[in-house]
Chain A
Amino acid sequence: MKSIIAEGLVKTYRKGEVKALDGLSLDVEEGTVLSVLGPNGAGKTTVVRILTTLLTPDSGSASVAGIDVIKHPEKVREIIGLSGQYAAVDETLTGWDNLVMFGRLYHLGKKASIARADELLERFSLSESARRPIKTYSGGMRRRLDLAASLIVQPKVLFLDEPTTGLDPRGRQEMWGVIEELVKGGVTLLLTTQYLDEADQLADDIVVVDHGKVIARGTSDALKRQVGGERLEIVVDQAHVGQTLEIVGRVSGATATLDEGLRRISAPVTTGSTALVEVLRALDDAQIHPLDVGLKRPSLDDVFMSLTGHVAEDAATVEQAGKGFKGKKEKKEKNREKGGRS
Chain B
Amino acid sequence: MNALKDALVITRRQLLQLARVPEVLIFSTIQPVMFVLLFRYVFGGSINTGQPGGYVQLLMPGIFVQTTAFTLAATASGLAEDMTKGLIDRFRSLPISRSALVFGRTLGDGLLNIVVLFVMGVAGFIVGWRPTSGIFKISLAFIFLLAFGYALSWVGIFAGLSARDARVVQNMSFLITFPLTFLSNAFAPTTGMPRALQYFAEWNPVSTMVAACRELFGLKNQFGATAGSFPSEHPLTMSLIYMVIILVIFVPLSVRKYNNANKK
User: Interface of A with B (CB < 8 Å)?
Assistant: 49, 52-56, 74, 77-78, 80, 82, 84-94, 97, 101-102, 104-107, 133, 149
> In the complex where A55-B262, A78-B95 touch, is A84 in contact with B20 (Cβ < 8 A)?
no
A90 to B89, CA, bound (A): 12
Task: Mark out the residues of chain B between 147 and 191 whose CB falls within 8 Å of any chain A CB in the assembled complex.
Answer: none
Q: Contacts of A74 on B, CB cut-off 8 Å? A: 95
Whether the Cβ atoms of B89 and A84 lie closer than 8 Å is yes
Whether the Cβ atoms of A56 and B262 lie closer than 8 Å is yes
Task: Mark out the residues of chain B between 83 and 115 whose CB falls within 8 Å of any chain A CB in the assembled complex.
Answer: 85-96, 100
A97 to B16, CA, bound (A): 8
A88 to B90, CA, bound (A): 6
Excluding A49-B89, A56-B263, A101-B13, 17 further A-B contacts by CB distance (< 8 Å) are A53-B262, A54-B92, A55-B264, A82-B89, A84-B86, A87-B86, A88-B85, A88-B88, A88-B89, A92-B17, A92-B20, A93-B13, A93-B17, A104-B5, A105-B94, A105-B100, A107-B5
Q: Contacts of A55 on B, CB cut-off 8 Å? A: 262, 264
Interface assignment of B137: CB less than 8 Å from any CB of chain A = no
> In the complex where A84-B90, A101-B13, A104-B9 touch, is A92 in contact with B21 (Cβ < 8 A)?
yes
Write the nearest CB–CB distance from A74 to chain B, whole angstroms: 6
Write the nearest CB–CB distance from B239 to chain A, whole angstroms: 35
Q: Contacts of A106 on B, CB cut-off 8 Å? A: 94-95
Which of B2, B13, B16, B93 makes the CB contact (< 8 A) with A107? B2
Q: Contacts of A102 on B, CB cut-off 8 Å? A: 90, 94
What are 30 contact pairs spanning A and B, CB under 8 A? A53-B92, A53-B262, A54-B89, A54-B93, A54-B262, A55-B262, A56-B262, A56-B263, A74-B95, A78-B95, A80-B93, A82-B89, A82-B90, A84-B89, A85-B86, A86-B85, A86-B86, A88-B88, A89-B90, A91-B85, A92-B17, A93-B13, A94-B20, A97-B20, A101-B13, A104-B5, A105-B91, A105-B94, A106-B94, A107-B5
A91 to B21, CA, bound (A): 11
Closest A-chain residue to B92, C-beta based? A54
Q: Contacts of B100 on A, CB cut-off 8 Å? A: 105
Task: Mark out the residues of chain B between 54 and 104 whose CB falls within 8 Å of any chain A CB in the assembled complex.
Answer: 85-96, 100
Closest A-chain residue to B88, C-beta based? A88
> In the complex where A90-B87, A92-B20, A104-B9 touch, is A52 in contact with B93 (Cβ < 8 A)?
yes
Contact flags B6-18 to A (C-beta < 8 A → 1, else 0) = 1001001100110
Contact flags B125-152 to A (C-beta < 8 A → 1, else 0) = 0000000000000000000000000000
> In the complex where A87-B86, A92-B20, A107-B2 touch, is A101 in contact with B9 (Cβ < 8 A)?
yes
A78 to B96, CA, bound (A): 9
Q: Contacts of A80 on B, CB cut-off 8 Å? A: 93
Closest A-chain residue to B101, C-beta based? A105
Q: Contacts of B92 on A, CB cut-off 8 Å? A: 53-54
Q: Contacts of A89 on B, CB cut-off 8 Å? A: 87, 90
A97 to B21, CA, bound (A): 14
Nearest 9 A-B pairs (CB), nearest first?
A: A88-B90, A77-B95, A86-B86, A78-B95, A88-B86, A82-B93, A104-B9, A92-B17, A88-B87
Write the nearest CB–CB distance from B7 to chain A, whole angstroms: 10
> In the complex where A88-B86, A93-B20 touch, is A105 in contact with B9 (Cβ < 8 A)?
yes
Write the nearest CB–CB distance from A100 to chain B, whole angstroms: 9
